[in-house]
């Protein structure tokens, strides 16, 4: 499976709106941080897990520890997808 970063961002947005419905209708950009958007640590973990399940990729949660914003999350997922693509 090959996804663009924009497609990963779109899946991530769907997860954000599903897990934190009060953000529905908010303009969320790739530079935003989930924490700044009001997602607590459990919400943030659920958003990432839901996104990974949606795109059918498995990444240890520890990899997301250094992520500062949504773009970092997208980058981590993109790199993992590329690695899967190379190894398959």
| pLDDT, tens digit, 9 for 90 and up, residues 64-88 | 999 999 999 999 999 999 988 777 6
* 31: three-class secondary structure by DSSP: coil
| pLDDT, tens digit, 9 for 90 and up, residues 12-48 | 999 999 999 999 999 999 999 999 999 999 999 999 9
Dihedral over alpha carbons 42, 50, 14, 28 (to 10 degrees): 40
Mean pLDDT of all residues in 52-57: 96
User: Is the CATH code 1.10.1200.10 the one for domain 5-87?
Assistant: yes
């Amino acid at each position: 499976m090959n996804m663009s970063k924009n497609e990963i961002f779109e899946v991530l947005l769907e997860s954000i709106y599903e897990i934190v419905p009060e953000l529905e209708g908010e303009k969320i950009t790739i530079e935003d941080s989930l924490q700044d958007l009001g997602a607590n640590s459990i919400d943030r973990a659920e958003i990432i897990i839901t996104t990974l399940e949606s795109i059918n990729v498995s990444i240890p949660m520890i990899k997301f520890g250094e992520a500062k914003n949504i773009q970092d999350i997208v980058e981590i997922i993109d790199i993992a997808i590329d690695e899967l693509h190379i190894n398959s």
